[in-house]
Structure 1
Amino acid sequence: MSIPTDEDRSLLTVVATMRAQPGKEEELQALLEGLIEPTRAEADCTTYALHRGSQDPAVFIFIEHWTDQAALDAHLGTPHLQAALPKIPELLDGELVITTLNRVA
């Protein structure tokens, strides 16, 4: 198995974790799925993969790889993300947690 940081350890890894409010899981999934195609089309996006908890289907996690912080910053300002961001909090149980990581090993 290989992941993008196997080839390029300089990539910025982002993990975005959120939990849907009870009964809002499908609505949140649909909103998040709508971000995938336009985000993957961004020039500096290497990975943009949505995951859903297998034991807790209310949990959603994006695993992302970007060329650098500037690429992530540009992504955060895109029209598709800016249109979705105001809708996300009303679907969440708790906060959206975004963690940035640098590959060590």
Structure 2
Amino acid sequence: MSISIVAIFVSKDNMEPKLTSLFKSVIESTRKESGCLNYTLYLDQENPKRFTFLEEWQNKACLEKHLASECIQDLFNNIQDLIESSEIIQLSKIK
């Protein structure tokens, strides 16, 4: 069963350009990962400090492999000083 993720990050003041660059740097490689069905970054139209990734993974194992990857671990380490908050929501489709 596929798993969907909504990952919301809120930037600290004036950190949006740096955060945008860091987020964009992992998109292409992530989309090539085995089991990645969707990996899209959005910017909130009403709050330009809020970034949202919508992700869909073939299964939990693919998601866990992604989260453990070097590029994502580096991303998480590099954004800590740039964000006010983050929220990761794991969703399952209702059939």
Instruction: Place the TM-score, normalised by the shorter chain, in its bin.
Output: over 0.9
TM-score normalised by the chain length of structure 1: 0.86
**Count of aligned pairs:** 95
Larger Rg: 1
Cα distance in 1, alignment partners of residues 63 and 23 from structure 2: 17
Greater strand fraction, Structure 1 or Structure 2:
2
- Pairwise CA RMSD: 1.0
Q: Between the two proteins, what is the percent identity of the paired residues? A: 28
TM-score normalised by the chain length of structure 2: 0.95
Partner of 1:97: 87
Partner of 1:76: 67
Secondary structure of 2:71 counterpart: helix
Partner of 1:6: none
Which residue, 10, 14, 17 being the options, matches 2:8?
17
* Structural mapping, 1:1-105, within 5 Å: 10-94=1-85, 96-104=86-94
Unaligned runs of 5+ in 1: 1-9
Unaligned runs of 5+ in 2: none
Structure 1 segments of 4 or more deviating over 2 A? none
Shift in Å at residue 35 of structure 1?
0.8
Cα distance in 2, alignment partners of residues 32 and 66 from structure 1: 18
